[in-house]
Amino acid sequence: MPTRNILNDPFKNKGTAFTLTERQQLGLTGTLPPKVQTLDQQAEQVYAQYSKKSSNLEKRLFLMTIFNENRVLFYKVFSQHVAEFMPIVYDPTIATTVENYSQLFVQPQDAAFLSIDNPETIKESLKDAAGDRDIRLLVVTDGEGILGIGDWGTQGVDITVGKLMVYTAAAGINPRQVLPVVLDVGTNNQQLLHDPLYLGNQHPRVQGAKYDAFINQFVKAVETLFPNVYLHFEDFGRDNAANILNRFKGNNLVFNDDIQGTGIIVLAGILGALNISKQKLTDQRYLCFGAGTAGVGITQRIFEEMVNLGLSPQEARKHFYMVDKQGLLFDDMSNLTPEQKPFARSRSEFDNADDLTDLLSTVKAVQPTIMVGTSTQAGAFTERVVKEMAAHTERPIIFPISNPTKLIEAHADDLIKWTDGKALVATGIPSKNVDYNGVSYEIGQANNALIYPGLGLGAIASTARVLNDKMISAAAHSLGGIIDVKKPGAAVLPPVSKLYEFSETVAEAVAKSAVDQRLNQRPIESVVDAIKETKWEPKY
């Protein structure tokens, strides 16, 4: 490759920061403006330009041009403005770019696009996308369940790129060592099937044995090409997400963000809330609204926590109620998923079981103390539902975490107002502070992005063979003690502005757990040193 192409290699390009000597050595003399800038000067210039963009989408598109050209510069600016950039680079703005990916397409962003129509090219495609890079972390989607906006086929690749950006900004994962992958198995999105601009396979989703075989081939190819890679699954459909995780978690270093990542962050938020209200987890009644991938993943995590606290599985199960499209889930229903079944209730527990077909009647009957929304049903936590819940519990814990913003079950300011400041609230998207009756309520962000970067860093740095429940539990507990719970209006989770700092705390807890369980494949003398050595910083 002629050296001038270095300006087109985002992993090597420094742009105007190439010194005059470097320019001479690299055959770049006269190919850049004369001034040599420092990284800080470049970052300042990028931020000034960014600040002039009027919409979030324009801001994101501008930042992506920097990403496409110069990774060090992109991550330098990102690291200087983490809380400000997160909603631009990631959720919720990323939902808009997923929906418009084909129209907005300019650059494949070093992703691998694998097609179910050509399974024989899986290996070649992964190799080509990785080039000479040593891949340690791979984020993959099949685009069926992007956030709460559904099936976006190949366009879902944006979420894998976005998730990886957060890994680097939050946990210092080396951007040369990551690979975003989309598995294009078709789409059932009618709009895409009829859109002449759509860049993916224009046929319905392939399911069943052929789909399963494709996934198996993919995982095998990944393991062969990139031994010890941490394989992160994102936004698969409800059935496939659970199936794939169950198939591989015993023997491979795999992670499902929507099931496990969300479980951890919501448990951490609940522990934070109970720390504020001075209550015990084992005294809570938990209502899951939207018992899909995330809803069940969270329920399983909190259930495990109750068992860890000494309850028998039978006792622990009594604390959970699941509501899905059918209403409260009962064990005599024929259409329950395998993950829902253990938490379905018996009709005999209620006088009016047959009436419990909506959220309000269920809240009345169950009187939950914790309610988490993962339903994609905008506004489902109505004033009546919330006031009914608050009538039976002093500090209701209410987390409407459906994404993006247009799908949230209730907004934080309404929840605070409707409960007269009593509710302990976290949302999936970032929420502003709520000023109510002289108190400024900080709203925690219960988004898996607050946990998966540290979790991944801990697992990668410790060379863990698998990611198991103990490591996951260690991650959830590691966020305790960061917030000052005595402050009126304190948030239940630490702020995104401290994401870089607490991701290291999470990583240490996870790596320590892996090493304590002897899951490390290489000798680790100090987890702190191992993490330090794994981390990358944006500098030339």
**Looking at beta carbons only, is 76 or 163 nearer to ligand LMR?**
163
Q: Is 256 assigned to a binding site?
A: no
Q: Is 234 assigned to a binding site?
A: yes
Between the two ends of the chain, the Cα-to-Cα distance in Å is 21
C-alpha distances (whole Å) from 147 to each of 93, 296, 365, 501 are 12, 15, 30, 26
**Looking at beta carbons only, is 297 or 396 nearer to ligand LMR?**
297
The Cα–Cα gap between 103 and 388 comes to: 45
Helices 157-171/452-461 angle, 10° precision: 70
> Min. distance of Cβ 139 from Mn ion in angstroms?
10
User: Applying CB under 6 A, which of residues 147, 241, 410, 426 lies at the interface with ligand LMR?
Assistant: 147
Is 90 one of the annotated active-site residues of the chain? yes
User: Applying CB under 6 A, which of residues 72, 86, 91, 238 lies at the interface with ligand LMR?
Assistant: 91
**Looking at beta carbons only, is 56 or 118 nearer to ligand NAD?**
56
Distance of CA 325 to the CA centre of its chain: 24
Is 163 one of the annotated active-site residues of the chain? yes
**What three-state secondary structure class fits 520?**
strand
Tracing tokens 């919330």 back to the chain, one arrives at: 386
Distance of CA 415 to the CA centre of its chain: 24
Contact positions with ligand LMR (CB under 6 A) in 402-431: 403
> Min. distance of Cβ 145 from ligand NAD in angstroms?
5
Contact, 319 vs 313, CB < 8 A?
no
CB contact set of 280 (below 8 Å; sequence gap of 6+): 274
List the catalytic residue out of 90, 101, 230, 321. 90
Sole window of 200-208, 305-313, 375-383, 479-487 interacting with ligand NAD (rule: CB under 6 A) = 375-383
With binding defined as CB under 6 A, does residue 375 bind ligand LMR? Answer: no
Q: Is residue 426 exposed (0-12), middle (13-18) or buried (19+ Cβ within 10 Å)?
A: buried
**Looking at beta carbons only, is 13 or 375 nearer to ligand NAD?**
375
Tell me the longest C-alpha to C-alpha distance in the chain. 83
Contact positions with ligand NAD (CB under 6 A) in 255-284: 258, 262, 265
The rounded radius of gyration (Å) of the Cα atoms in the chain is 24
* Residues 237-251: b if buried by 16+ CB within 10 A, e if exposed: bbebbbbbbeebbee
The Cα–Cα gap between 150 and 401 comes to: 16
List the catalytic residue out of 14, 59, 76, 163. 163
**Looking at beta carbons only, is 122 or 146 nearer to ligand LMR?**
146
Q: Kindly state the tokens that stand for 432.
A: 């502003």
The Cα–Cα gap between 139 and 257 comes to: 10
With binding defined as CB under 6 A, does residue 376 bind ligand NAD? Answer: yes
Sole window of 75-83, 215-223, 250-258, 504-512 interacting with Mn ion (rule: CB under 5 A) = 250-258
With binding defined as CB under 6 A, does residue 447 bind ligand LMR? Answer: yes
With binding defined as CB under 5 A, does residue 99 bind Mn ion? Answer: no
Tracing tokens 């060379």 back to the chain, one arrives at: 463
**Looking at beta carbons only, is 95 or 506 nearer to Mn ion?**
95
**Looking at beta carbons only, is 467 or 524 nearer to ligand NAD?**
467
With binding defined as CB under 6 A, does residue 110 bind ligand LMR? Answer: no
User: Applying CB under 6 A, which of residues 325, 341, 384, 432 lies at the interface with ligand NAD?
Assistant: 325
Q: Work out what residue 170 binds among Mn ion, ligand NAD, ligand LMR, none; the CB cut-off runs from 5 to 8 Å by kind.
A: none
Ranges of beta strands (E only) in 401-538 are 424-427, 434-436, 439-441, 444-445
Q: Is residue 346 exposed (0-12), middle (13-18) or buried (19+ Cβ within 10 Å)?
A: exposed
User: Applying CB under 6 A, which of residues 144, 158, 235, 508 lies at the interface with ligand LMR?
Assistant: 235
Instruction: Write out the residues near ligand NAD by the rule CB under 6 A.
Output: 145, 147-148, 238, 258, 262, 265, 289-295, 323-325, 374-377, 401-403, 407, 428, 446-448
Instruction: Write out the residues near Mn ion by the rule CB under 5 A.
Output: 235, 258
Question: Which residues have a catalytic role annotated?
Answer: 90, 163
Binding site as annotated, residues for (S)-malate: 403, 447
Instruction: Write out the residues near ligand LMR by the rule CB under 6 A.
Output: 91, 147, 235, 257-258, 403, 447-448
